[in-house]
Amino acid sequence: MSTKIDIYTKRRRGRIVNGMFTAACFLATISCVLVLLVLIWNIILQGKSWLSWDFIESLPSRFPEKAGIKTALWGSIWLISLTALFSVPLGVGAAVYLEEYAPRSRWRKMIQLNIANLAGVPSIVYGILGLGLFVRALAFERSVLSGALTLTLVVLPIIILASQEALRAVPDSIRRSAYALGATRWQTVWYQVLPASLPGIMTGVILSLSRALGEAAPLLVVGAMAYVPFVPEKLSDEFTALPIQIFNWTSRPQEEFHHLAAAGILVLLVVLVSMNAVAVFVRHKYGKKIRW
Amino acid sequence: MWNSLRPVYEGLVHFSLFICASISVLVTVGIVIILLYESVKFFYDVPVLEFLTGTQWTPLLKPQHFGILPLLCGTMLVAGGSALVAVPIGLGTAIYLSEYASPRFRDIVKPLLEILAGIPSVVYGFMAIVFVSPIIRQIFPSAGVFNAASACVVVGIMILPMIISLSEDILQSVPISLRAAASALGANKFEVTVRVVLPAAMSGIIASFLLAISRAIGETMAVTLAAGATPKLTLNPLESVQTMTAYIVQVSLGDTPAGTIEYRTIFAVGLALFVTTMTMNVIAQYILSRVGERYE
């Protein structure tokens, strides 16, 4: 008799514990989403009245009413274009080598492990490498070129890993049929494998470039300036970037500069969201075209 | 003509692709060489023992002291605190998404969390100063404008998406047969999840925590803005501290000429940072590489 009651209470207790656990997990999930919404809502509230065409067109200034992000925006455009120019051929080339050419050897395994670990190196360490290598050893000074080369190192592992995944998704039958028709290895890669994996590679590239756009730490170390009164015109010019400008405004005690920072963040987030939208679009549109 | 040149062309392509792949190795070698090169010069002036055990860090002030412990302490305080924020929430979310949520709910929440992961770290720094720090100061009036606690909160939010997505993958990879077997024995959902699925996924989940904490250690902009610039040996999260990364930024913002001992400190601190995060990443990668083998 007593054992029967025991089983009942145990079951009820089990049900209560189960319910509480489910509720706790659900609460955790909802709080993550709420944090995101509250964060974005607050930034919009802080920044929206400071956002104007003047803000985008004006040079930086000591007076918050006159300050703008023109140089930072152009600096970011320079950095991101150069970074894409350097990192995309290098990254995709490395991925093609590892997936299509390299024999499955120890050496390949070592490179693979190395890339996975590089993806986890803090970005400020790349800044220190950039400072030692590009700014000092190669004497590029604190230029937009040094900045872009440093960002290239930051995003390279991400581009390689994403491109490899895209290449791996192309079925082997495609390669074999190309070889059967007498194509060489490079012809197979260039005319068959690369076009087929292009949507995946593009998505990876866009996402990693959007990461580079938000990076501030390595740029600070290689010497991005907080105050640059002109837009860069050549590779050796000094530069600033959107995240640097936001950092600079945030670190000032005056309230007005915080509003400027919020407005700058809104511009940065709009650019990032549109880049991500393009990535999603590419994956959606061209990903479906190919059916094997 | 073209046919006879074909092998040469193919060889050239092969070689240039090989160079691309080798660059990743060269980057690692470059990091190690540059960090070691300047650090060795630094340790010529400052004994390694003093660097590792000294309790004062004042390289920019006279008299100069080069003990890295205060920076290490600040870094660990922020990393530990952010783990305290992120680990329970992250694990709870991962469990909910993997075990309980409907596919539709997951399809809505996962992209939202990806947005959280894509927000630049300087934005989290802004949030720490403008929103989090005032709230903390209202609850604990003794807290300063710059305090470790606000850095812990925002860095915790920052590493959340990483913990969630990695842990969820690991939980999903636990075979359904294990869950079915436990259910067949009369276990309820809670028992299946906590007594069967979680233990089976534990090593992978710990690896995801390691990766996230390593990310928190290397995090720079948020901690520079939120935690302040006071190298201090303290475990009180309401005080201002300085992390290794924040120190590197502080020196970079100043105008320290190359070749001076102040300039070299950032390479020595960078080396310490690199070794710490690399060790954690390698351990995590090792654990993760073994996770998949268990059920095959």
pLDDT at position A3, please? 59
pLDDT at A285 over 90: no
* Tokens describing residue B166: 């990695």
Residues of B in contact with A240 (CB under 8 A): none
pLDDT at A1 over 60: no
β-strand partners of B66: B57
pLDDT at position A262, please? 92
- Quote the CA–CA distance of A87 and A160 in Å, as a whole number: 9
- Quote the CA–CA distance of B133 and B143 in Å, as a whole number: 9
Question: In a mutagenesis test of the A interface, which of B2, B24, B29, B224 is the best target, namely the one with the most A β-carbons within 10 Å?
Answer: B24
Question: In a mutagenesis test of the B interface, which of A21, A161, A245 is the best target, namely the one with the most B β-carbons within 10 Å?
Answer: A21
- Quote the CA–CA distance of A216 and A166 in Å, as a whole number: 29
* B66 phi/psi in degrees, rounded to 5: -120, 55
Secondary structure of residue B57 in the 3-state scheme:
strand
Residue A6: exposure state from Cβ atoms within 10 A (0-12, 13-18, ≥19): exposed
pLDDT at position A225, please? 72
Residues of A in contact with B19 (CB under 8 A): 93
Asked whether the beta carbons of A175 and A185 are under 8 A apart, the reply is no
Name the CA dihedral angle for B20, B26, B31, B34, rounded to a multiple of 10 degrees: -130
Q: What's the complex ipTM? A: 0.90
Asked whether the beta carbons of B251 and B263 are under 8 A apart, the reply is yes
- Quote the CA–CA distance of B222 and A110 in Å, as a whole number: 33
pLDDT at A138 over 80: yes
Question: In a mutagenesis test of the A interface, which of B126, B158, B260, B267 is the best target, namely the one with the most A β-carbons within 10 Å?
Answer: B126
Model confidence at B294, pLDDT cuts 50, 70, 90, reads low
pLDDT at position A44, please? 92
B10: Cα separation from own chain's centroid = 42
pLDDT at position B16, please? 93
Residue in A90, A101, A122 closest to B277 by CB: A122
Model confidence at A136, pLDDT cuts 50, 70, 90, reads confident
Q: Chains A, B: CB contacts under 8 A, how many?
A: 253
Residue A179: exposure state from Cβ atoms within 10 A (0-12, 13-18, ≥19): middle
List, as own/partner pairs, every contact residues B57-60 make where C-beta atoms lie below 8 angstroms and the sequence separation is at least 24, other chains included.
B57/B231, B57/B242, B57/B247, B58/B231, B59/B261, B59/B262, B59/B265, B60/B250, B60/B251, B60/B254, B60/B262
Helix (H) or strand (E) holding A191: none
Residue in B109, B122, B253 closest to A246 by CB: B122
CA of B78 vs chain A CAs: smallest distance (Å) = 15
* A239 phi/psi in degrees, rounded to 5: -150, 165
Tens-digit pLDDT profile for residues A10-41: 788 888 888 999 999 999 999 999 999 999 99
B79 touches chain A (CB under 8 A): no
Contact flag B27-A156 (C-beta cutoff 8 Å):
yes
Mean pLDDT in residue range A132-144: 87
* Tokens describing residue A14: 């089990």
Tens-digit pLDDT profile for residues B174-210: 999 999 999 999 888 899 999 999 999 999 999 999 9
Residues of B in contact with A31 (CB under 8 A): 89
Domain borders along chain A are 1-47, 53-289
- Quote the CA–CA distance of A135 and A149 in Å, as a whole number: 10
Residues of A in contact with B116 (CB under 8 A): 32, 35-36
- Quote the CA–CA distance of A57 and A207 in Å, as a whole number: 27
Residues of B in contact with A79 (CB under 8 A): none
Q: Indicate the class that CATH gives domain A53-289.
A: mainly alpha
Residue by residue, DSSP assigns B33-55 as: HHHHHHHHHHHHHS-HHHHHH-S
Residue in A17, A247, A258 closest to B190 by CB: A17
Nearest to A251 by CA among B139, B269, B128, B175: B128
Tens-digit pLDDT profile for residues B102-153: 999 998 998 888 888 889 999 999 999 999 999 999 999 888 888 999 999 9
pLDDT at position A292, please? 59
Model confidence at A212, pLDDT cuts 50, 70, 90, reads very high
β-strand partners of B57: B66
Model confidence at B75, pLDDT cuts 50, 70, 90, reads very high
Name the CA dihedral angle for B121, B124, B130, B134, rounded to a multiple of 10 degrees: -130
pLDDT at position B1, please? 62
Residue B223: exposure state from Cβ atoms within 10 A (0-12, 13-18, ≥19): buried
pLDDT at B2 over 90: no
Report the residue of chain B nearest A150, measured CA to CA. B27
Tens-digit pLDDT profile for residues B31-50: 999 999 999 999 998 888 88
Residues of B in contact with A47 (CB under 8 A): none
pLDDT at A140 over 80: yes
